[in-house]
């Protein structure tokens, strides 16, 4: 920040700082310059942050959420378009330039979904979620019935086999017992992995259809009191959700790598029958009470203890006399979705800090995603208020609200695919929130270079329940989790990496499950995903509504305001830093640890100690380059560089992430190009570290291992060369 900018900023802030006492805002125990800011800019930056922290208001966040949850707003419906129009109007009133961007995507709606037990007795199943008298919204007839997006249409009558969570290890257990699922309907419980993985594995094992249900052991009465008496899923609750094969690629199934704009040449669309991300079998979600009717009638041996759920009888594998009729008719068509793009122009419009959240919901979506939407609106209002007072960010801030996230990360993926070159030349970072508030527990995942930024910002925001900083509350919870290690993530919550160095609270690696995927895994934009989690058992159900939030998630809405403060501070620091606060030493440590671990696996698998030596050597060079960069940047903490040189350093810090992309993409799923992190191909949400190499080892494919090893080593060497180049620039004479 130049001296003239500091003088102007003090002129704007001085009166406010004298007379403002922010509530629940900041501890500001450290008055030194935030990472990336010169000491001469510290006072001005702290004054600006103090002003921002005072603006987010819990009552406004509550009003935002009440409006956002006033009607169901499923992607591809007029109600979702109405939400987009309302959001655009809000940001326009905050002073942002706003636009609504339309895409036309291949998106099904349910036409006919039936399930009945036909043997040993007849019983109609597929019952809807029961209305709750205390919560009138649960009687809203506009709510879409429960279905799985991207299920194939099908009409199947077959015996049923219970497959636990429906993952590869479960099918291996069945095979060991001589139980085949071929031409059977398989029944799997939700949890342990993304639901689309369950459809993919069922299809690979030649099942005729898949039924998914929520077991009370996972998110129902075994976890605690159920809605409306508690936050957990009642017996009639159903988890909707996509079953598209997003670990292959997200976005419009017919246009991978191409933005599905409304006037796209039809010849550029895949034939639906040839789209690799579309399931080929019918899939249907049901509730626990219907699952009980099927499970209680299954024959065969009883299941192992790990397969036993929470229903009050012994589970059996099947098959037996229990036979079901499953009918799914989906109406596939091109349907419109609408992204909202709000821009607060900075002094440099060629550098973008992007914040994102999706606005479509399965029904009301109070937690997922509207808690994040309500919080981001408050962050946007705070930034707009600063701008109206005379402040202008050094870098442009873009706030995006994506449509079509729930069906398959549609709006964000199409936008990234359509702006690829511009993003890679201008974007500084992407900051995502989805489930903004489901309780009081802060959680984060990010590229390792941004983890310290998350920690530093959460040190400056007060945790509403405890009065300590969000960071200290987060750190205390993680310490308790280390002792118990008993929590299982619900929905798309992110587990912490509890094996990390205890000197700092760990930040999880980037996997999948929300709109950062295209930014990070495809475009190589440094990214993070943040939110507050808690006891949240009504994920993707009709019960995820304003009543639930008001009674269980955040009754005071103070965590919504805290989330707005965190988002606002991150935006301020990324938009205003003299030198972007990216930490590649942590990145290098993570890569080196994973490379060493995989080298041991490769040596055991192929009896060749040198199988991954090129990767280990490249990770060592990456570690050395990161150390050189850290040493070269240290003197810059106290001295400014010529603006063109500083801009060059900042751009190269960002582009180091892009160096880690593979031009060819990962083996067997080339849409994903990041060589260090990708969603696990049989996990979905959870990250796979060094995915190409790791998955080649899983397949015991030595040729693929050699290819992926070479690709990863080349990517690490590109990143090392970039870091060494930045170090030379930082040390160059002025």
23: left (phi over 0), alpha (psi -120 to 50) or beta: beta
Mean pLDDT, residues 259-279: 97
What per-residue confidence (pLDDT) applies to 27? 44
| Model confidence at 506: pLDDT above 60 | yes
Cα(545)–Cα(539) distance, integer angstroms = 10
Count other Cβ atoms within 10 Å, centred on residue 388.
Answer: 10
Burial of 386 (0-12, 13-18, 19+ CB in 10 A): buried
Burial of 188 (0-12, 13-18, 19+ CB in 10 A): buried
Domain 3-104+336-575: which CATH number of 3.40.630.10, 3.40.50.800, 3.30.565.10, 3.10.20.30: 3.40.630.10
Residue 30's pLDDT band, with cuts at 50, 70 and 90, is low
| Model confidence at 306: pLDDT above 80 | yes
- Mean residue pLDDT across the chain: 92
**Over the range 566-593, which residues count as b (16 or more CB within 10 Å of their CB) and which as e?**
bbbbbbbbbbbbbbbbbbbbbbbbbbbe
In the chain, the N- to C-terminal Cα span, in Å, equals 18
Pick the range with the lowest mean pLDDT from 303-312, 435-444, 476-485, 607-616.
476-485
Q: What is the pLDDT of residues 548-557, one digit of tens each?
A: 999 999 999 9
Pick the range with the lowest mean pLDDT from 15-19, 180-184, 264-268.
15-19
What per-residue confidence (pLDDT) applies to 308? 98
Q: How many residues does the chain have?
A: 734
Report yes or no: 145 and 110 within 8 Å, Cβ to Cβ.
yes
Report yes or no: 638 and 651 within 8 Å, Cβ to Cβ.
no
Q: What is the pLDDT of residues 320-364, one digit of tens each?
A: 889 999 999 999 999 999 999 999 999 999 999 999 999 999 999
Q: What is the pLDDT of residues 146-181, one digit of tens each?
A: 999 999 999 999 999 999 999 999 999 999 999 999
| Model confidence at 492: pLDDT above 60 | no
What per-residue confidence (pLDDT) applies to 734? 62
What per-residue confidence (pLDDT) applies to 359? 98
With H, G, I as helix, E, B as strand and everything else as coil, classify residue 549.
helix
Choice between 564 and 492, residue whose per-residue pLDDT is larger: 564
What per-residue confidence (pLDDT) applies to 610? 87
Mean pLDDT, residues 104-117: 98
Report yes or no: 481 and 487 within 8 Å, Cβ to Cβ.
yes
Mean pLDDT, residues 57-71: 98
Cα(20)–Cα(25) distance, integer angstroms = 11
What per-residue confidence (pLDDT) applies to 297? 97
Mean pLDDT, residues 358-382: 98
- In SS3 terms, 232-268 reads as ECCCCCCCCEECCCCCCCCCCCCCCCCCCCCCCCHHH
Q: What is the pLDDT of residues 416-438, one digit of tens each?
A: 999 999 999 999 999 999 999 99
Q: At what angle do helices 78-94 and 370-388 cross, to 10 degrees?
A: 20
Q: What is the pTM of this model?
A: 0.94
Mean pLDDT, residues 535-561: 98
| Model confidence at 498: pLDDT above 90 | no
What is the CA 704 to chain-centroid distance, rounded? 29
Mean pLDDT, residues 40-65: 96
CATH class of segment(s) 107-334: alpha beta
Pick the range with the lowest mean pLDDT from 20-24, 486-490, 615-619, 676-680.
20-24
With H, G, I as helix, E, B as strand and everything else as coil, classify residue 159.
strand
What's the fold here for domain 584-731?
Transcription Elongation Factor S-II; Chain A (1.20.930)
| Model confidence at 483: pLDDT above 90 | no
| Residue 236 CA: distances (Å) to CA of 141, 413, 524, 688 | 16, 33, 42, 34
Report yes or no: 284 and 211 within 8 Å, Cβ to Cβ.
yes
Cα(599)–Cα(597) distance, integer angstroms = 5
What per-residue confidence (pLDDT) applies to 485? 57
Sign of CA dihedral 112, 113, 119, 123: negative
Cα(196)–Cα(242) distance, integer angstroms = 7
Residue 636's pLDDT band, with cuts at 50, 70 and 90, is confident
| Model confidence at 26: pLDDT above 60 | no
Exactly one of 405, 414, 460, 695 is catalytic; name it.
Answer: 405
Per the annotation, the verdict on 405 as an active-site residue is yes
Can you list the alpha helix ranges (DSSP code H) found in 540-583? 546-548, 558-576
Mean pLDDT, residues 188-216: 97
Same fold, 3-104+336-575 and 107-334: no
With H, G, I as helix, E, B as strand and everything else as coil, classify residue 449.
helix
Mean pLDDT, residues 710-734: 93
Q: At what angle do helices 702-731 and 691-699 cross, to 10 degrees?
A: 170
What per-residue confidence (pLDDT) applies to 530? 98
Count other Cβ atoms within 10 Å, centred on residue 145.
Answer: 12
Q: Domain coordinates of the chain in residue numbers?
A: 3-104+336-575, 107-334, 584-731
| Model confidence at 12: pLDDT above 70 | no
Residue 366's pLDDT band, with cuts at 50, 70 and 90, is very high
Cα(662)–Cα(668) distance, integer angstroms = 13
């Amino acid at each position: 920040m130049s001296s003239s900018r500091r003088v102007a900023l003090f002129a704007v802030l001085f009166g406010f700082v004298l007379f403002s006492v922010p509530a629940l805002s900041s501890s500001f125990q450290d008055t030194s310059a935030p990472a990336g800011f010169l000491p001469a800019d510290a006072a001005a930056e702290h004054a600006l942050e103090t002003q921002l922290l005072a603006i987010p208001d819990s009552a406004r966040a509550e009003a935002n959420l009440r409006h956002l949850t006033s009607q169901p707003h499923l992607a591809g419906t007029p109600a979702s378009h109405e939400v987009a129009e309302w959001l655009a109007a809000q940001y326009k009133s905050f002073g942002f330039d706003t636009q609504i961007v339309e895409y036309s995507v291949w998106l099904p709606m349910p036409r006919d979904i039936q399930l009945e037990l036909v043997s040993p007795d007849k019983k109609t199943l597929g019952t809807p979620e029961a209305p709750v008298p205390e919560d009138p919204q649960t009687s809203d007839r506009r709510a879409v019935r429960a279905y799985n997006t991207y299920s194939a249409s099908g009409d199947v009558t077959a015996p049923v086999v219970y497959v636990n969570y429906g993952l590869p290890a479960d099918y291996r257990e069945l095979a060991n017992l001589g139980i085949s699922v071929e031409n059977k309907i398989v029944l799997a419980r939700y949890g342990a992995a993304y639901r689309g993985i369950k459809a993919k594995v069922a299809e690979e094992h030649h099942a005729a259809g898949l039924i998914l249900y929520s077991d009370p052991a996972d998110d129902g009465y075994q976890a605690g009191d159920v809605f409306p008496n508690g936050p957990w899923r009642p017996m009639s609750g159903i988890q909707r959700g996509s079953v598209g094969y997003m670990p292959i690629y997200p976005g419009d199934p017919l246009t991978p790598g191409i933005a599905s704009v409304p006037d796209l040449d039809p010849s550029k669309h895949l034939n639906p029958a040839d789209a690799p991300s579309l399931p080929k079998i019918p899939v249907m979600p049901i509730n626990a009470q219907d699952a009980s009717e099927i499970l209680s009638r299954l024959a065969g041996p009883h299941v192992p203890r790990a397969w036993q759920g929470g229903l009050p009888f012994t589970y059996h594998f099947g098959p037996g006399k229990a036979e079901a009729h499953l009918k799914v008719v989906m109406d596939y068509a091109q349907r419109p979705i609408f992204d909202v793009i709000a821009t607060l122009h900075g002094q440099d419009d060629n550098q973008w800090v992007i914040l994102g959240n999706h606005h479509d919901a399965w029904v009301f979506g109070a937690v997922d995603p509207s808690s994040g939407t309500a919080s981001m609106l408050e962050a946007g209002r705070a930034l707009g208020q600063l701008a109206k007072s005379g402040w202008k960010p050094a870098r442009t801030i873009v706030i995006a609200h994506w449509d079509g996230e729930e069906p398959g990360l549609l709006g964000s993926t199409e936008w990234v695919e359509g702006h690829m070159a511009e993003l890679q030349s201008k974007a500084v970072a992407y900051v995502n929130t989805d489930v903004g508030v489901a309780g009081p527990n802060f959680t984060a995942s990010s590229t390792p270079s941004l983890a310290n930024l998350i920690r530093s910002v959460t040190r400056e925001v007060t945790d509403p329940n405890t009065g300590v900083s969000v960071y200290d509350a987060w750190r205390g919870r993680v310490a308790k989790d280390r002792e118990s290690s008993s929590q299982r993530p619900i929905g798309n919550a992110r587990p912490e990496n509890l094996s990390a160095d205890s000197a700092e609270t760990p930040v999880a690696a980037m996997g999948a499950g929300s709109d950062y995927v295209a930014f990070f895994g495809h475009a190589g934009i440094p990214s993070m995903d943040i939110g507050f989690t808690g006891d949240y058992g009504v994920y993707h159900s009709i019960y995820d509504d304003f009543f639930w939030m008001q009674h269980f998630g955040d009754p005071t809405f103070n965590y919504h305001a805290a989330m707005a403060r965190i988002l606002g501070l991150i935006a301020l620091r990324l938009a205003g830093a003299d030198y972007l606060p990216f930490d590649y030493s942590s990145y290098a440590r993570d890569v080196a640890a994973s490379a060493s671990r995989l080298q041991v696996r490769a040596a055991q698998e192929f009896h060749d100690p040198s199988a991954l030596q090129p990767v280990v050597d490249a990770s060592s060079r990456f570690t050395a380059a990161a150390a050189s960069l850290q040493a070269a940047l240290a003197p810059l903490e106290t001295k400014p560089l010529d603006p063109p040189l500083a801009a060059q350093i900042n751009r190269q810090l960002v582009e180091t992430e892009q160096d880690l992309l593979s031009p060819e993409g990962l083996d067997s799923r080339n849409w994903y190009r990041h060589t260090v992190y990708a969603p696990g191909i049989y996990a979905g949400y959870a990250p796979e570290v060094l995915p190409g190499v790791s998955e080649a080892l899983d397949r015991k494919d030595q040729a693929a291992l050699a290819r992926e090893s070479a690709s990863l080593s080349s990517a690490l060497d590109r990143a090392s060369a970039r870091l060494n180049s930045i170090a030379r620039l930082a040390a160059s004479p002025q």
